[in-house]
Amino acid sequence: MAIKTQPVTVNLGPQHPSTHGVFRMRVMFDGEEIVDVEPIFGYLHRGSEKLAEERTYTQIITLTDRMDYVSSMLNNQGYILAVEKLAGIEPSPRGVWLRMIASELQRIASHLVATGFLLQDLGALGTPLIYAMRERENILDLFEMLCGARITNSYLRPGGVFMDAPDEFWPALDRGLDDIVNTIDELETYLSGNEIVFSRTKGTAVLPPELLINASITGPMLRASGVDWDLRHRAPYDYYDKISFERILHTASDNYARYWVRVQEARESVKIIKQCIEQIEPGEVRPSFDEVPRLIRPPAGDAYAAIEGSKGELGFYLVSDGSIAPYRMHVRASSLINLTLLREMLIGGQFGDLFVTFGSVDLNMGEVDR
């Protein structure tokens, strides 16, 4: 006997612990099934792009920290690359290696957070999240050694980084990398073979690769559908062309594939950092103030630079009118663009999968709203 049901509309968020910040969805259910989703965002809008128009190029670094606040080093890197392109700055080699190490560490931290919270949304209350956070804490300790701050780093400067790593950083980094590998092993024994994780994530929210490409989705979400697109390999910035690493691909394109790609990418990042440590050479970490002054005045023009952020292609577009502040700054926020397929992922699915799917996108409201 079919039960007669009636669609109900439920408001989820913005103050909901599972919405990764302040995200709001208007969801229409028919029984257990989702019939319609309307994402509503903008609750964390701080106008970073507008604020950038009245700050100098160095001061904007502090704004980029606060966009995607679980991967500030990567944001710094994307922005700095755009400034370097705009002003024609030749970076110092040691500075570039250091910022590659920092940004790969940040990628690991971000993927760990994504994994932890995905499992939290799955109902594994606390345990995997705490394991992931414990490891992230070690990475943040390394950042504190490097630049004195844990979250809002502002470590990078046009042309490199502001200060060389202290002596105690290198042994701590070696130890940290071993710990990271151990934690990832642990997470994998704990989760990758876990039947509950399998049954909850395999085959849910499957997206065809064509749709992902059409919606210009990037990052682990795209690679989980088998499309080999990684900017570190396709359009190497910094010294990624001197590094060899495997591109992690999965073909299933479901929630499990997205989780799996992130965990394996964290492993690859460890290998990248090890290669960076081998290749780094002593030297200056940033050009002298005669070459790159504190107050940069790029020639009029525009520049776009993109990096492979932890969530996808993170691009910064700067327009200069020849003054000390940009005329316009635009950020290609990967989280926001990855969110565009939320409706396709959720409609027809079960209510219980809603937050799992949402978590597998790995979005950060700071970046979505800016």
Q: Which residues contact another protein by CB under 8 A?
A: 55, 58-59, 61-63, 127, 131, 134, 137, 141, 144-149, 152, 154, 162-164, 166-167, 186, 189-191, 193-198, 294
Q: How far is the CB of 144 from another protein (least distance, A)?
A: 4
Q: How far is the CB of 131 from another protein (least distance, A)?
A: 7
> CA-based angle 307:173:282, to the nearest 5?
75
Q: Which is nearer to another protein, 116 or 312 (CB)?
A: 116
| Per-residue three-class SS string for the chain | CCCCCCCEEEEECCCCHHHCCCCEEEEEEECCEEEEEEEECCCCCCCHHHHHHHCCCCCHHHHHHCCCCCCHHHHHHHHHHHHHHHHCCCCCHHHHHHHHHHHHHHHHHHHHHHHHHHHHHHCCCCHHHHHHHHHHHHHHHHHHHHHCCCCCCCCEECCEECCCCCCCHHHHHHHHHHHHHHHHHHHHHHHCCCHHHHHHHCCCCCCCHHHHHHCCCCCHHHHCCCCCCCHHHHCCCCCHHHCCCCCCCCCCCCHHHHHHHHHHHHHHHHHHHHHHHHHCCCCCCCCCCCCCCCCCCCCCEEEEEEEECCCCEEEEEEEECCCCCEEEEEEECHHHHHHHHHHHHHCCCEHHHHHHHHHHHCCCHHHHHC
Distance CA 41, CA 357 (A): 17
Q: Which is nearer to another protein, 7 or 126 (CB)?
A: 126
Q: Which is nearer to another protein, 17 or 193 (CB)?
A: 193
* The length of the chain, given as a count of residues: 370
Q: Which is nearer to another protein, 318 or 339 (CB)?
A: 318
Q: How far is the CB of 337 from another protein (least distance, A)?
A: 28
Do residues 307 and 108 make contact, with C-beta atoms less than 8 angstroms apart? no
Q: Which is nearer to another protein, 149 or 213 (CB)?
A: 149
Q: How far is the CB of 267 from another protein (least distance, A)?
A: 17
Q: How far is the CB of 115 from another protein (least distance, A)?
A: 14
Do residues 346 and 28 make contact, with C-beta atoms less than 8 angstroms apart? no
Q: How far is the CB of 347 from another protein (least distance, A)?
A: 30
Q: Which is nearer to another protein, 18 or 62 (CB)?
A: 62
Q: How far is the CB of 189 from another protein (least distance, A)?
A: 5
Q: Which is nearer to another protein, 171 or 193 (CB)?
A: 193
Q: How far is the CB of 213 from another protein (least distance, A)?
A: 33
Q: Which is nearer to another protein, 74 or 346 (CB)?
A: 74
Q: Which is nearer to another protein, 20 or 286 (CB)?
A: 286
Q: How far is the CB of 116 from another protein (least distance, A)?
A: 14
